Chain A
Amino acid sequence: MNLESTVRGLHPLEIKVLLNFKGSEEITKNDLMERLSYNEGQCNQAFSWLTSKNLLKEKSRTGRIFYELTELGIKYQKEGTPEENILKLLSQEGPLTISEITKRLNLENRDVGSAYGKLSKEGLLSMSEKKEVFISCDNFEEKLKDLRNLLNKLFKSGRVPEESLREEETEILKSLSRKRSSSRGVFKILEREDIIYTITEAGIKAKELLKAGGITGEEIGAVTPEILKNGEWKNKRFRSYNINIPPVRVLLGRKNPYGEFLEKLKDKLSSLGFEEFDGPLVETEFWNSDALYMPQFHSARDIHDVYYVNNPSHAKEIEQPYLDQVAASHENGWKTGSRGWEYKFDRDFTRKLILRSHGTVLSAKTLTHAKVPGKYFGVVRCFRYDKVDATHLADFYQTEGIVLGENVNLKTLLGLLKMFAEEVAGAKEVRYVPGYFPFTEPSVEVHIKHPVLGWFELGGSGIFRPEVTEPLGIKVPVLAWGLGIDRMALMSLGLEDLRELFSNDIEQVRLRRRK
């Protein structure tokens, strides 16, 4: 950081130090306290900030010893020491037993005991045959004078440096100071270092810059309602901030970026004239496959391709006349002009409950109440009996839909696919390839050249077979389509593994961004 921006970012505590001292001057904490009225905390902040910015440097440090009163010391100063109080009591009342003293002075036994021990050793007290304590010296006040003076002196000036005390005083202080293990000391010994600072070359230049800029350290820090009200800001400047401090992280409410991707897809499809459909997660074999003219013996309908519901295992009934009409179209083509699959349709199996394995279920169900012309879509959760890995999920979203119209045909199907390629995937190049789906004929796959992903299969489509549409009451051609949007979703979120779309990890989801 250059000096200008350092100077701009200086705190008033730092500014005042720089402005108030000369280049060669030695600066100590006491100086700041005296000349700038800083408290100890402010002194420490100013020194630590200025030295870290290399505007001050440490010249020397010396160790010093100070004494101050403990809480007990303060109490003794105010209420008298046990010794003082015992002598005072005895001088007023005459001889008393230890327990009487303890009671009268409201002291603890051991305090009275140790005070008596000390005073009798010094010859100030003695004990009579009646176990009564009496004063055995005339000038007892003189003997206690030194301690009293020290208590008063420390009480008055707080912290007293060792060098300002006499040797006898130091000895008393040491003998009555708190030992590490005891909490009952009267005095506390403090070891402090006195550090002397001087202003550096950079500091001198910073000071010049401050002067040139007219910065005094009296600038306003915070804009408050009070100064707005009283107008105090009018003749003052505001302190500049260091705008390069890294911002603090904010936790915000957010949509899931995969959810946003799906939302955008739904908006796009509805903007293209499609109406959204929705339905239950549990479906019947009838709607999941039979209504789509997938024969009940088809290899894709083995137990290992869909999830069956354990209990209840079957729907109560399948809606009529669809059941009869679909069953007939499987058995003999019904009125569709088809020969059918030529097998006996199983009406028990068709009621079996499964987790829907593709969105086309909802396309089929929509046919029973669809408008003509009509366009429908769904982005719906589907379930597959699949081993889960980076490219396969057991439960995932599928995007599917249908277009009904008197005049829809293969060429409008291609036009629809082209529209999806351009509008949904942003592709310029499109290739159509014949495909195969049991429920559409003809069937077309659309491959696109995605601006980032290159060529891939965007989706499958076709015209619903008459064996699908007519039993469900639809006489017009129906285009059916499905889009594979997973790869685009991963790309848009900067992911490579489909499982991450459904991540449990809060931090991962919080930090995920769309491209």
Chain B
Amino acid sequence: MPKIEITENLLTHFAGRKFSEKELEDIAVVAKAEIDGRNEEEGLIKIELNDTNRPDLWSTPGLARQFRIFLNDKEYCYNFFSGSKETKEYGSRVIKVDPELKKIRPFITAFQADGHEVDEPQLLDLIQSQEKLCWNFGRKRSSIAMGIYRADLINFPVHFRAADPDLTGFIPLGEEKKMSLREITKKHPKGVEFGWIVAPFNKYPYLEDNSGNTLSFPPVINSAHLGAVKVGDSSLFIELTGTDLNSLLLAASIAACDLSDAGFTIKPVKVEYPYETSYGRDIVTPYYFQKPVVLDIDYSNKLLGEDLTIEETAGYIKKMGNSIAVEDKKIILNPPPYRNDFMHPVDIVEEIMIGRGMNSFKPVPPEDFTMGKLSSTEEFSRRVRDIMVGLGYQEMIYNYLGSKHEFVEKMNIDSDDIIEIKNPMTENFEILRNSILPNLLNSESVSGNALYPHRIFEIGKIAVIDSRENYGTSTKNYLSLLLSDREAGFNEANSHISAVFFYLSMDYSLKEAEDPRFITGRCANIIFNGEVIGISGEISPQILENWGIEMPCTGVEINLDFLIRS
């Protein structure tokens, strides 16, 4: 979930009013935002935006727009959008796309913003919202990357090319010497961070103007010349490149609306593709691509549990900034140009909920009768747990993730059936446990000072590789116990196993077994209905030494699933 930091002054400027702390918290709900913190001295507000499908809210102008619409009950009108029916004037502002980019980074959208001097807070906000947009919505720049340039230095048309990374070079932002594109991916900090996006390709995306001046190496870095925007600039060229055209069109629309709100005049740019796109070969951007969504108010009333009239419903939808048309019992919604989160009529239902206000819905207790029930695993585990407690054992609850060192090496077992994590964060959590005994031994190893005897157990899940299963693994419910004391031995443990089975009204038998974890001749398999379902034995001194334990231990492990199923 994106978090942004905005200045109070800028918010006041864009929203057209000041908010008290309480007012801000209340209105934030409209944008599914939470106030995360406030720095009174510096006039900064930290805001968390919960809706990952509303990137239009991740900037001060965007957030202020939603507040203003809601409070003033007035929709916005932007007149710079082209669409399937209408194309706006683009003058000489043209971008020509290289056919080779189709497989590398196929799409670009752009516009120019003129007639307003950018000041520092606005510039910082612009950079922040660009970063949030490209990082969170643009998947770390891989599907959307944005560049901002000084438009007065650009000689149109601009060329979006697939360039040879070794033969093409320029002076990137933050450097003084010319570097090749490949050098940039290896040495420049932004190249190191984002170079992976272009690494699989022979040629890299590259933007230059008609005089051969470099704009940028998208999605990595701008040029130090055209791409260095400063406070006081009043003519900006904005482009976005990426892999998904709809996302790029939306992101360009959001940026254009934000800059328009800031006082810029938005001037369209034509992109000429040498290949087909969903909206033709020539697209003039900003471009309105959203499709209308139709809501039947019977549907919204059913989901909301209300009986709202079509007028009421329409009113709440409009209050959120949507332009709509009403036809009989249907509402046709044309999404605002900066939003593309209406996938299904259900998305309009939420607009009604927020537009009307959460407090207007009165909670109704659940009416349907249903039978409550615990799972058979839970029921059975509780029976076993009660017997274990009666036998004097302390129940433990452990993490299910562990290290190979503890679950394999210290246990002297091979790791054939152990489920390893491909991307562990630390070696403490690199496998899913295949047994509870190592957890119990770990407890013993850190509890030498606790009053003896130690009798501990856990009933929990383990998982192992199991090629017979569809998932190639299976999860099992286990009971494991550990006795630790001067006299803790096989016979005592067997008395306890015997008690568990007696009170479960089940029978078991023992069969001598060999297992590297236990002392030979003092270890047995537990047999139930002819199947091996567990093991019991005195823990081998070698294992105890591995754990640094200096007290005799006896351990038992039983697969409860066999008992639950029987």
Are the C-beta atoms of A355 and B471 separated by less than 8 Å? no
B388 contact from A253, A381, A442, Cβ within 8 A: A253
Interface string of B301-343 (1 = CB under 8 A from A): 0111110000000000000000000000000000000000001
For A337, the closest partner residue in chain B by CB is B344
With both beta carbons as reference points, the residue of chain A lying nearest to B299 in the complex is identified as A337
Which B residues between 394 and 422 are near A, CB-CB below 8 angstroms? 394-401, 419-422
CB contacts under 8 Å to B, within A286-308, are 297-300, 303-304, 307-308
B 359-378 binary contact with A (CB < 8 Å = 1; else 0): 10111111111111111011
The answer to whether B451 touches A308, judged by C-beta atoms less than 8 angstroms apart, is no
Q: Is A215 positioned at the interface, with any CB of B under 8 Å from its CB?
A: no
Which one of B353, B398, B467 lies within 8 Å of A442 (CB-CB)?
B353
Q: How far is the CB of A264 from chain B (nearest CB, A)?
A: 12
Task: For B463, list chain A residues within 8 Å (CB).
Answer: 280-282
In the complex, A317→B472 CA distance in Å?
A: 10
Q: Inside 8 A of A477's CB, which chain B residues have their CB? A: 302-303
Segment with Cβ contacts to A, from B149-157, B439-447, B533-541: B439-447
Is A311 in the interface zone, CB < 8 Å from B?
yes
**Given A308-B422, A336-B344, A411-B364, A280 and B474 contact (CB-CB distance below 8 Å):** yes
Confirm or deny: B89 has a beta carbon within 8 angstroms of a beta carbon on chain A: no
- Assuming the contacts A417-B363, A434-B29, asked whether A312 and B303 have C-beta atoms less than 8 A apart, the reply is no
A408 to chain B, nearest CB (A): 8
How would residues 433 to 471 of chain A score, 1 for a CB under 8 Å from any chain B CB and 0 otherwise?
A: 111101001111000000000000000000101110000
In the assembled complex, the Cα of A465 lies from the Cα of B82 at a distance in Å of 32
Residues of A within 8 A of B9 (CB): none
Beta-carbon nearest neighbor of B302 in chain A: A409
Which residues 387-415 of A sit at the B interface, judged by CB distance below 8 A? 387-388, 393-395, 403, 405, 407-412, 414-415
Q: Select which of B345, B368, B423, B425 is within 8 A of A308 by beta carbon.
A: B423
Does A387 lie within 8 Å of B471, measured CB to CB?
A: no
Q: Are A434 and B382 in contact (CB under 8 A)?
A: no
Q: Which of B449-475 contact A (CB under 8 A)?
A: 449-451, 453-456, 461, 463, 465, 467, 470-475
A403: nearest residue on chain B (CB-CB)? B366
**Which listed residue (A277, A312, A371) contacts B375, Cβ 8 A?**
A277
Selected from B52, B53, B353, the residue in CB contact (under 8 A) with A434 is B353
Instruction: Chain B residues near A54: list those with CB within 8 A.
Output: none
The residue that B366 contacts in the complex, of A275, A284, A353, A415, with Cβ under 8 A, is A415
Residues of B within 8 A of A (CB-CB), count: 96
| Nearest-Cβ distance from residue A130 to partner chain B, whole angstroms | 65
Whether A441 lies near B346 (C-beta < 8 A) is: yes
**Chain B residues whose C-beta falls within 8 Å of the C-beta of A282 in the assembled complex:** 419, 432, 463, 471, 473, 475
* CB–CB A355/B432 < 8 A: yes
Closest to A271 in B: B372
**B residues less than 8 Å from A280 (CB atoms):** 463, 471, 473-475
A272 nearest CB across to chain B (Å): 6
A109-117, A169-177, A502-510: which lies at the interface: A502-510
B32 pairs with A436, CB closer than 8 A:
yes
A433 touches B392 (CB 8 A): no
Nearest-neighbor residue (CB-CB) of A511 within chain B? B450
B385 nearest CB neighbor, chain A only: A255
A residues less than 8 Å from B455 (CB atoms): 251, 253
Question: Scoring B residues 39 to 73 as 1 if CB is less than 8 Å from chain A, else 0, what string do you get?
Answer: 00000000000111100000000000000000000
Partner of A373, one of B137, B244, B370: B370
Contact B50 A436 (CB under 8 A): yes
CA distance A405 to B302 in the complex (A): 12
Complex contacts, A276 vs chain B, CB 8 Å: 373-375, 378
Kindly identify which residue among A253, A283, A298, A310 contacts B390, using a CB–CB cutoff of 8 Å.
A253
Docked complex Cα distance between A11 and B216 (Å): 98
Residues of chain A with a CB closer than 8 A to B394's CB: 253-254, 256, 506, 509-510
Q: Which residues of A are found within 8 Å of B392, using beta-carbon distances?
A: 251-253
Closest-CB distance, B5 to chain A (whole angstroms)? 20
B511 within 8 A of A: no
Interface centre among A263, A282, A299, A506 (most CB of B within 10 A): A506
CA distance A467 to B366 in the complex (A): 24
A374 at the binding interface (Cβ < 8 Å): yes
A392 to B: closest C-beta gap in Å: 11
Establish whether residues A337 and B345, one from each chain, have CB atoms under 8 Å apart when the complex forms: yes
* Chain B 19-34 near chain A by CB (<8 Å), digits 1 or 0: 0000000000100100
Q: A339-B291, A339-B344, A436-B32 are in contact. Are A278 and B377 (CB under 8 A)?
A: yes
Chain A residues with Cβ below 8 Å from B29 are 433-434
What are 20 A-B pairs at a CB distance below 8 A?
Answer: A273-B370, A276-B373, A278-B375, A280-B471, A281-B432, A282-B419, A282-B463, A312-B465, A314-B472, A333-B343, A339-B343, A381-B461, A383-B400, A395-B399, A415-B365, A433-B29, A433-B358, A441-B350, A509-B396, A510-B450
The 6 closest A-B pairs by CB, nearest first: A312-B472, A409-B305, A373-B368, A411-B305, A270-B372, A338-B344
Apart from A267-B374, A313-B422, A355-B421, list 4 A-B contacts with CB within 8 A.
A275-B370, A343-B244, A381-B400, A434-B29
